[in-house]
Amino acid sequence: MDTPDQVLSRLWTGVGLSPGALVRARLSGADPVLPSSFRLAAAAMAGIGGVGLAAADIHHRRGGPAQRVLVEARHALAEFRSEQLMRVGGAPLGDPWDAIAGAYRCGDGRWVRIHTNFPHHRDGFLALLGAAHERDAVARALEGWEAARLEEAAAAAGLPAAMMRRFAEWDAHPQGRAVADLPLIEITRIGDAPPEPLPPLAPRPLAGLRAVELTRIIAGPVCGRVLAAHGAEVMLVTAPHLPSIPSLVVDTGRGKRSAALDLREEAGRDGLRDLIRGADLFIQGYRPGAMAGRGFGPEEVAALRPGIVCVSLCAYGRAGPWAGRRGFDSLVQTASGFNDAEAEAAGAPGTPKPLPCQALDHGAGYLMALGALAALMRRAEEGGSWHVQVSLARTGHWLRGLGRVAGGFAAPAPGPEPELMEERDTAFGRVATVRHAAVLSETPAQWSRPPVPLGTDQPRWG
């Protein structure tokens, strides 16, 4: 079983970075930190530490001093639960989960999990099931379904659902096999462009680099948030007609500007093109094909701005029969075996038990950021436009491969710990959030901007 340092080393060299920098990273602490049978702390420290080390390496390449990067297990897993620990005015900012979201037993005895946090998904499930917006009504309706049939009917209707599987079932499934064959972080050259030197030395590692972010929920927004923590200028782009979850807007919006563009309209698409022309990174996490359908697939973006690094997130990976399927962390956990494995390890086999944090979401966010920074370093040396691809399912495959923890459920699930939190006044009120867990000795991470309501800023670079 790899140590956390070895996990970081594999991530680092896996994206083509020189192992010499690894001597400046220090990961402390060990699993279990949260009640789980999986090595969540090892994954969190390696992911967060990898991004911090890459930011420090970029700063060093720009002429800054070499610096140490420290990540502690308890702090890393607090950041993997940042949306759970955030407080606004001393209290959580509402329950992000819809009343009918969650796991249900179907008529064949198998479990399914449905995701209804967005109104159009909720309404779609109620129509599919012919049920009222009440948990008991949905449970009664699902008694008339086989779990596998519900999973397929939901997918055909564009609705997010997953049947609970064991690891062995997922490994034998065509999508499970496809995911296992994919790289964890896939970095592909997609166009020609001359080398672009990194910006001149600045006080923060990523200052002078610009990222356009079109993402929602956790994974993609975490990618943008950590880049902003190290000084990148991040422009979150959304639209008024798109649903959002208020607590996640606040937690993941730190350090970013937020603009609104309606990509259904030519004026909105023109506005996005203008932002892309001035950007180094284009980060998107919408369902596969959605951005290409608006004219913003990776190749189109690279043609518009040669030398850009595109970063794409999907649920189930770019290959296999589920490549285009909608999904979220909770569903990928369910489909790929985590809910079943956690339940069995906890002594309650057969009843879905999720991980104590959205580890696939948070993990994927840091893997996206690590891939993005590695691609920027390649661009500086080799030139080219690049495409970084990460998926929740492949992130789960990686987490599973780190091994299991005996007695992990004896660990507590602590609330906000004052020494790991920071507070500031925002448009949402007084907000307490988890400080960034990667401690850089010379350029401490910080979010220079407070989170703002969606669409606050103009869609143009300063």
3-state secondary structure of 448: coil
Q: Give CA–CA dist 405/40, Å, rounded.
A: 9
Q: Give CA–CA dist 65/9, Å, rounded.
A: 22
For residues 254 and 450, is the Cβ–Cβ distance under 8 A? yes
Residue 422 is given by DSSP the state E
Residues in CB range of 212: below 8 A, 6 or more apart: 235, 237, 272, 275, 276, 279, 281, 282, 283
For residues 439 and 70, is the Cβ–Cβ distance under 8 A? yes
Could you give the angle at the alpha carbon of 358 between the alpha carbons of 291 and 95, nearest 5°? 90
- Nearest to residue 177, comparing CAs of 461, 397, 25, 445? 397
Res 360: pLDDT: 99
Res 406: pLDDT: 94
Task: State which amino acid sits at residue 214.
Answer: L
Q: Give CA–CA dist 108/164, Å, rounded.
A: 12
pTM above 0.95, yes or no: yes
Q: How many CA atoms lie within 13 A of 49 on its CB side?
A: 32
- Nearest to residue 262, comparing CAs of 272, 277, 253? 272
- Residues found in the chain: 462
DSSP string for residues in 37-68: SB-HHHHHHHHHHHHHHHHHHHHHHTTPPP--
Q: Give CA–CA dist 9/31, Å, rounded.
A: 18
Task: State which amino acid sits at residue 451.
Answer: P
Characterize 137-164 residue by residue with b for buried, 16 or more Cβ atoms within 10 angstroms of its Cβ, and e for exposed.
ebeebbeebbbeebbeebbeeebbbbbb
* Residue appearing with tokens 């007084």: 430
Residue 418 is given by DSSP the state G
Res 277: pLDDT: 99
Res 462: pLDDT: 85
Res 274: pLDDT: 99
- Nearest to residue 367, comparing CAs of 42, 50, 5, 72? 50
Say what the alpha-carbon torsion angle 136, 138, 143, 149 is, to the nearest 10 degrees.
Answer: -160
| 389 beta partners | 186, 312
Q: How many CA atoms lie within 13 A of 329 on its CB side?
A: 20
Q: Which residues of the chain have pLDDT under 70?
A: none
Q: How far apart are the first and last CA of the chain?
A: 48
pLDDT tens, position by position, 203-250: 999 999 999 999 999 999 999 999 999 999 999 999 989 999 999 999
Q: Phi, psi (5° rounding) for residue 171?
A: -60, -30
Res 27: pLDDT: 99
